[in-house]
Amino acid sequence: MEEYGKILIIAMPVFLTLIVIEKLYGIYKKNDTAPLIDSVSSISSGITNSVKDVLGLSITFLSYEWLVSKIAIQHLEPSVISYFIAFFVIDFYGYWSHRLAHQINFLWNKHAIHHSSEEFNLACALRQPIASLVNLFTFLLIPAALLGVPASVIAITLPLHLFLQFWYHTKHIKKMGILEHIIVTPSHHRVHHAINPEYLDKNHSQIFIFWDKLFGTFQAELDDVPPVYGITRPANTWNPVKINFQHLTLLIKDAWRAENWKDKFTIWFKPTGWRPENFEEKYPVNKIENVFSFDKYGTQNSQKLIYWSVTQMLITLLFVSYLFDNIAKIGLPNIFVYGFFILITIYSYTELMDKNKYAIFWEGLRFAVVSGIIVYYGDWFGLNTIFPAGNYIILVYLTLSFLTTIYFVTIDFKRPMTQTANL
């Protein structure tokens, strides 16, 4: 946990800097592809995922280390060769786990968050799941285990492989010549994120594009079919916690309502989007039928709401950085209390972004949780050893945040929208 937290402390400012550069470049080229409020939602999703991972909130039924101990025909030492094998096998593993997440109903729940943005930019790469609490696909690493690639090599290569998927989430890089035949490029991944019928469930590769060509899921970006982004059942919320469980909620409801016991069981393993017969008429859900004729969610927002949301996200990143840098000092079980605070924080300000009146409740709960922590421990997880006035700074911020939320819900949201912005 601690080592991964340290890696993220380095990675987070790099990602944030690149997101800002993309934003400024888009403004300069008069082709801004990264509305601020959408980017705030994306980055907030990345925060929830990274906190979940650092806290170790996932279960692996079949560990890679156990696989190596049982089936390795040799044992490699960490070397260039072992890292190369690990990277190649992880990419194979990534292709199939990614493809299955698109094709099986219950697996789609953990991946829908990544596709939920109706934009395509570097920030949306950070839309990663908190709903993926169980790893079912370790068996796909069997080739590496057979060759005896050490677990320590896999542990280092996995996050590296994930981080290398960040750069191709952009509209600004066009087709890349000969590289289009070797690696996944922005053009390939624009196809993957598109909901156009021509593009659905294509290009699942993560680094090397030849997996799609080998297994029949490749589709080139067509000049006459501009990609349209999002999910066919739009999320219609900026709240990443809600998005993470929307599909699962629908599956549970449909399984409960199904009269046929076979449907109750098989709905989980059917192709993504499958519902029992006549359910679309009996229990309709919002679905995009014409990809070139639908309204994007929340494209018009007051400048005050947008700038306040950005401020909240940046402050949350400071809180997260403190957690990642002090995991050992904070210790168990306090790191889970801290993680709960981060979750409530993101839930609260993204509810406000949705203009939900219940944001006041969540902000009040957040204030109560923080006050309780400071009263119980006498300190904010050791912050006073760095800033003697740390408690006061946090309480002043929480008070200001609570009052600002009340202002937005009771005054600003009730005013006629005379000035809007899609920044």
The model's pLDDT over 263-284, given as tens digits with 9 standing for 90+, comes to 999 999 999 999 999 999 999 9
Identify whether 337 is part of a domain: yes
**Residues 338 and 208 both lie in one domain:** no
Identify whether 35 is part of a domain: yes
Estimate the crossing angle of helix 105-115 against helix 80-103, to 10 degrees.
110
pLDDT at 76: 92
Cα dihedral 275→276→280→282 (10° resolution)? -140
Identify whether 268 is part of a domain: no
Range of the domain at 47: 2-215
Q: HSE, CB side, 13 Å, CA atoms: give it for residue 410.
A: 8
What are the φ and ψ backbone dihedral angles of 135, each rounded to 5 degrees?
A: -95, 115
First to last CA, the chain: 36
**Residues 23 and 163 both lie in one domain:** yes
**Is residue 201 a contact partner of residue 102, using CB atoms and an 8 Å limit?**
yes
Q: List pLDDT tens digits, range 136-181.
A: 788 899 999 999 999 999 999 999 999 999 999 999 999 999 999 9
**Residues 211 and 316 both lie in one domain:** no
Cα dihedral 7→8→9→12 (10° resolution)? 130
Query: Taking the model in full, what pTM does it have?
Result: 0.94
Nearest CA-CA partner of 162 in 116, 127, 135: 127
pLDDT at 253: 97
pLDDT at 4: 80
pLDDT at 388: 87
Which residue stretches of the chain have pLDDT < 50? 419
Domain boundary among 215, 240, 261: 215
Residues in the chain: 423
Nearest CA-CA partner of 268 in 155, 60, 128, 108: 108
**Residues 65 and 203 both lie in one domain:** yes
**Residues 71 and 208 both lie in one domain:** yes
**Residues 208 and 330 both lie in one domain:** no
pLDDT at 61: 63
Identify whether 399 is part of a domain: yes
**Residues 202 and 344 both lie in one domain:** no
Identify whether 208 is part of a domain: yes
pLDDT at 387: 85
Name 373's Cβ contacts closer than 8 Å, sequence gap at least 6: 337, 341, 380, 381
Identify whether 286 is part of a domain: no
Distances in Å between the Cα of 62 and the Cα atoms of 36, 66, 107, 137 are 40, 7, 18, 8
Domain boundary among 215, 244, 263: 215
**Residues 148 and 34 both lie in one domain:** yes
Nearest CA-CA partner of 345 in 40, 96, 66, 112: 40
Provide the number of structural domains found in the chain: 2
pLDDT at 136: 77
**Is residue 175 a contact partner of residue 221, using CB atoms and an 8 Å limit?**
yes
Count of Cβ atoms closer than 10 Å to residue 101 Cβ? 21
Distances in Å between the Cα of 289 and the Cα atoms of 225, 232, 276, 293 are 16, 8, 19, 8
Identify whether 9 is part of a domain: yes
Domain boundary among 190, 215, 240: 215
**Residues 66 and 173 both lie in one domain:** yes
Identify whether 161 is part of a domain: yes
pLDDT at 1: 60
